[in-house]
Every structure is written in structure tokens, then in C-alpha cells.
Amino acid sequence: MLQPHEQSLLQRISLETVVADTCELISARSENPGGVESEAVAVLQRMCERIGAQVSLQEVAPGRSNLFASVGPPDAPTILFLGHSDVVPAGDGWATDPFVPRVSEGLITGRGATDMKGGLAAIIAAMGAIAASHPEIRLELLSTVDEEDQATGARKAMERLEGRSLLACIVAEPTNLDIVIGCRGSTNFHVEITGKAAHAGRPEDGASSLYVAGMVIEKVRHLQAIARKGPPDPLLGGPSWNVGTVTGGTATSVVPQSTTMTINRRIMPDDNPEEILRGLIDSVEAEVGASELPHSSLLSVTGCVVLHMPGFRTAEDSPVPTRAQEVLQEFGVEAPLTGWTAACEGGFVMNATGAPTIIMGPGDLNTQAHQANESVAIDDLLVAAKAYALLALRLNESR
């Protein structure tokens, strides 16, 4: 049951302000790839300064800056809220302009409504309420750039967070207000295959890089089949593989000398991407050596990890998820503790700080995020804002 001081805290959260902030953030285009986040970051900075937060920007690339905002004493135990300012490209299929937010029938529609401009607006509302009523509590917001592509913002931000002690990290990605206590990570591999060019009339004079690419594809298909057989992790399922792109050859009449590939591997929290890639390359090289491909000794396979977004896992009995469940129950939400097969940037924070981390946010990842006519329920935005504020209060009181 809510205590009087908790009720007073929650009364400081305005539904109208949360809706207006969500709409303003949606209007600030920040498509990625294809654009920059500067407009959205500028809007976010004004909102944070409006609630009295201290704000600093960390440049990641021209026009692309992480935003750090804080309220409360710098030496107090800190709860970090994590979000991102970029959105995926709008794409086709929208009934209205994706960057002109539409409020109708209890929903806000627009690119980023769910992923995750609504979550950012809810965080700002919670931080403002805490700052006004409990100035002794320290809350911070990290909003990264480039989450939807290469996670360059999160990797840069860890320079400021490495080794810090945090009370908790709360990621406001859309979970339908479920409490995610673990998620898989994601890693992208770039694979380069080099052979020897020759005239197609005498293919035996060459060494086809595309034939080796076929071996890589078959090996990935085999590894994916093994992964599907399990046994699955009860929380996270299992790893998965996908060949994303294959680019090779110069002309139909030429044996292809070089081929490049990109491969995605969804990883478990303890997986080592470098070891996984090395295992794949070693296996393919052994197959090439044992094959009867022409000039197999001239064929080489190399690769590198171009993205590593680590997974994470927080103990079910940690105070952070258990308090989060209690808080959501105050608003009539029975939130399960669950896992995510997607990836998010919470793993970066947990690796850098050791902070117990959860994902909990408004909106539905599977039915709304990255889709045309993306929307978020206004009621969920309000619950999220109130839950963030109440959770921050109770985590501090229970220390």
C-alpha cells in the first residue's frame, strides 16, 4: 500500500507533461542509420534542464553526442536510467507522417513512440518528481546515440562509467512493463575470404572465394541447427546464428578472388565473441584444407568482431527486480520476471559497473517497435513514470 510520502511523490508526475514530452521527442527526427541524433538530444537536454538536472554531453561523432543528466548529490548511491536517442528509419507503410505524433484513442503514434522516446519521457518525469520531493536521492540518465546500429555511443559512455558503483541500472526499453532480468547479447562478424582470380573458361586455374563462402554458410547453418536442439537456457533460450550479407566476385566470367560476409551471432552472457569467431574460421579452414578445391592452399579466411553488445543476467532474488515487482503491483500490474531474446545496452553497464540491471519499459517490442504505425499506450507511459519514481524511492529506503 502506498504511504503518504509516496502518494505525494507520485502526484508530482503529470500525465499531460509525459504525453507532451513524448510527442516532442518523436518530432525530433533521429533515424539511424541515415541521420544523426543532434535534434533529439537538444530536445532531451532542454527537458532535463527544465527539471533541474545537471546535463553534460559526450561527443561520439560529429552531430552525435551521448547525454548524461543527473539530479541529487554526486556522492549519494546512484540509480542509473539507460535509454537511447536514436530510432530506426521510418520506412514505408505509415498511415500518417511518422514524425508528426498523433494522439488518439489512448495511444501516441509515431516513430520512436515505443522504442524509445516514450521511455525517455517517463524517465524525465520520474527524475523530476524525485528531484522536487527527495533531493537527497541521486538519479542519473544516460541516453546513448547509435544504439540501433553499432552501439558506438554505449561503448564510448563506458569510459565514464567503468568502475563506478551503482545501486541499480534500469533500462527503459519496451517490455510491456514486464521485468527483464537477463538478455542475450549480440555480436557481428566480418569475414573476408581471399582466393585467386582466373578466366571462367579455365576455373581450375583459380581458387574460388565464393565456394569457401558456401562452406561458411553451410557451417553456420549446421551450428544454428545444433543451437536449436538445446538444451535451452530457461531464461534466455539459446544462442543463434544468421548470415546477413554475402558480397563477392566481379563478373560472371571471372573466378571470384574475394568475398566478404557479415554474420550475426546472438550470444549468451558468458560467451566470448573472439573465441566463437576463431572456432568458426578454424573449422572452415580445416574443411578447405581437406577439400579438393583447386589451389586450396591459396584460399584464406580471416575475420574480425565489428560489434559486441554483451548480454547480462541479474539474480531473481536481487532487490532490484523484487522491488520492481512490488512497485508495479501498486499500479495493478502483475509483472513477471523474464528474459529477452533481443539485445540491449544494459550488458555494457553491468560489465562496467557490476550493477544489478533490469529492463522495464512502456510499449511492446514485438508488435510495435521497428514497425510502421508504431504506437505506445498513454496509460503505460504514466505507469512507467510512476513506477520509476517509486522504485527509486524504495530502493534508496531499503538500503
pLDDT in tens, 167-198: 999 999 999 999 999 999 999 999 999 999 99
Q: What pLDDT, on the 0 to 100 scale, is given for residue 1?
A: 86
Q: Are residues 189 and 248 in the same domain?
A: yes
Low-confidence ranges of the chain (pLDDT < 70): none
List the catalytic residue out of 6, 86, 115, 364: 86
Q: Which of 254, 285, 308 is the endpoint of a domain?
A: 308
pLDDT at 206: 96
Q: Based on the domain organization, do 300 and 167 belong to the same domain?
A: no
Q: What is the CATH number of the domain that holds 243?
A: 3.30.70.360
Shared-domain flag, residues 297 and 204: yes
Residue of 6, 140, 146, 147 with catalytic role: 147
Assess whether 163 and 204 both reside in one domain: no
- Residue 149 and residue 95 share a domain: yes
DSSP string, 179-229: EEEEE-EEEEEEEEEE-B--BTTSGGGSB-HHHHHHHHHHHHHHHHHHHHH
- Domain hosting 360: range is 4-183+311-397
Query: Looking at the structure, do residues 175 and 190 belong to the same domain, yes or no?
Result: no
Taking the CA atoms of residue 66, residue 72, residue 74 and residue 76 in that order, the dihedral angle to the nearest 10 degrees is -120
Number of domains in the chain: 2
Please report, for the domain that includes residue 65, its CATH number.
Answer: 3.40.630.10
Considering the domain architecture, whether residues 236 and 338 belong to the same structural domain is answered as no
Give the CA distances from residue 377 to residues 13, 123, 318, in Å, rounded to whole numbers and listed in that order: 17, 16, 29
List residues bridging with 246 in a β-sheet: 261
Same domain, 176 and 223: no
Could you say which of 308, 337, 365 is where a domain stops? 308
**Residue 218 annotated among the catalytic residues of the structure:** no
Does the annotation mark 285 as catalytic?
A: no
Same domain, 337 and 281: no
Tell me the per-residue pLDDT of 271-304, one tens digit each, with 9 for 90 and over. 999 999 999 999 999 999 999 999 999 999 999 9
Q: Are residues 148 and 21 in the same domain?
A: yes
Burial of 352 (0-12, 13-18, 19+ CB in 10 A): buried
Q: What is the pLDDT of residue 352?
A: 97
* Claim to verify: residue 75 and residue 174 sit in the same structural domain: yes
Domain-terminating residue out of 270, 286, 308? 308
pLDDT for the residue numbered 359: 98
Residues 211 and 301 placed together within one structural domain of the fold:
yes
Indicate the pTM of the whole model: 0.93
pLDDT score, position 44: 98
Residue 341: its pLDDT value, please? 79
Look at residue 87 in the predicted model and tell me its pLDDT.
Answer: 98
